[in-house]
Structure 1
Amino acid sequence: MRADAQQNHERLLEAAARAFARDASEASLKDIAKDAGVGIGTLYRRFPTREMLVEATYRNETTKLADAATELLEKLEPVQALRTWMDQFVDYVATKHGMADSLKAVLDGAGDLRMDSRKLLSDAIAVLLQAGITKGALRNDVTAEDVMMGLGGITLIAGDDRALAGRLSDLLVAGLRS
């Protein structure tokens, strides 16, 4: 892909994530293109259907969140990296909720996408946990799946209440400390 086409692609995915988080199923493809600084034709050349844009946005957001684990550990102590990653997870889920209707159709037809995403995120949590265990800051008897289930519960309970999600994430981290 040419450099400018790659930049357009990335800008479209970032604009789509913002639009889906903000406007949910009401997100306008025309507004997404405008926000990305491209014409609607460019959007449709890259993503001929709304579902293709939703799937690509979902994959991109999942990959970014998974990659963030290592990036955070380069800058922060493991416990702080984990807690910061949890905030990013809450943001990720908000974007995913905004794509819920379209995403359901995509995921129903691609069970492997759901499993790939779950594995990517579980692996990211495992990296964060292992760093904390190695430093002696986190318990060694909790699995990445346990943490993922806890985060899933937090996002279900907190909904759009970021303050509540933050307090519950703090409690989860407190329970993970050694």
Structure 2
Amino acid sequence: MTQNTAPRPLRADAQRNIDSLLDAAKSVFATSGVDAPAKEIADLAGVGVGTLYRHFPKRADLVKAVFQHEVDATADAAPLLAEQHDPVMALEKWLHRYTEFLVTKRGLASALHSGDPAFDALPSYFLGRLGPALGSLLDAAVEAGEIRAVASPKDLLYAVSKLSLPMGDEEPEHGRRMLDLLVDGLQHGADKTGC
């Protein structure tokens, strides 16, 4: 007899608890860092500390889950934006959404760069999810003649990351202005007649 090894689907209340914990952890990590007390995260999520530890037994599990959750939300925004906007506007809105993710990533930076092997797969997860999402938006904007084909998705992911670095009191306004300049630059000299 073979045993079914597929994971059981989560109950709706368990999924709500996980979603609440991920949102709370994202917020707490951004303000208090990844070493914030578990109780602070659980209280913000409206659950007990035991619920936090049941779903995320180690701090690394929670950090990794927050990172992956934010990567997934950012990647999943691409097709929705493509349906709702013209190609260059969808690209611009997605890049702004990506900068919001970068703020979360900065809150996780100390853990992500700690050398903990639990985080070793995250860079490829990041590129594997965000690269294709951005690539689809770039391809659509190039095909529509709205931007020039001068950068790969990986180039843009890293360029926006660098442009979004905090600049003293101007954060996050500085990053938004730099991103707008980047999008303007991509449009400069584009074949507006389309391909």
Distance 1:107 1:69 in 2: 31
Match of 1:162 in 2: 172
- Of the three residues 1, 6, 10, the one matched with 2:15 is 6
The range that moved more, 152-161 or 11-20, is 152-161
Q: How does 1:72-83 map to 2 (within 5 A)?
A: 72-83=81-92
- Of the three residues 49, 53, 61, the one matched with 2:70 is 61
Match of 1:173 in 2: 183
- Of the three residues 32, 57, 72, the one matched with 2:41 is 32
Distance 1:95 1:11 in 2: 16
Quote the offset at 1:55 in angstroms: 0.6
Quote the offset at 1:109 in angstroms: 4.3
Aligned length: 178
1:56-112 per-residue CA deviation (whole Å, 9 max, x = no partner) reads 111111111111111111212221222222222222111111112222237644432
Do structure 1's residue 127 and structure 2's residue 136 form an aligned pair? yes
Higher helix proportion: 1
RMSD: 1.9
Counterpart of 2:143, as a letter, is T
RCO higher in structure (CA 8 A, sep ≥6)? 1
Q: Kindly tell me: are residues 76 and 163 of structure 1, through their superposed partners in 2, closer, same or farther at Cα, counting changes over 3 Å?
A: same
> Structure 2: which 5+ runs fail to align?
1-9, 191-195
TM (normalized to structure 1)?
A: 0.91
Counterpart of 2:22, as a letter, is L
1:16-66 per-residue CA deviation (whole Å, 9 max, x = no partner) reads 111112222353321211111111110010001111100111111111111
Distance 2:115 2:71 in 1: 15
Contact persistence 1:62–1:120 (CA under 8 A): yes
Distance 1:169 1:107 in 2: 32
Quote the offset at 1:151 in angstroms: 0.7
Same amino acid, percent of matched pairs: 37
Quote the offset at 1:119 in angstroms: 2.2
Distance 1:127 1:21 in 2: 30
TM (normalized to structure 2)?
A: 0.83
Counterpart of 1:165, as a letter, is G
Match of 1:91 in 2: 100
Contact persistence 2:60–2:118 (CA under 8 A): no
1:116-175 per-residue CA deviation (whole Å, 9 max, x = no partner) reads 212211111101101111222111232112211211211236477111101100111011
SS in 1 for 2:147: coil
The range that moved more, 71-80 or 7-16, is 71-80
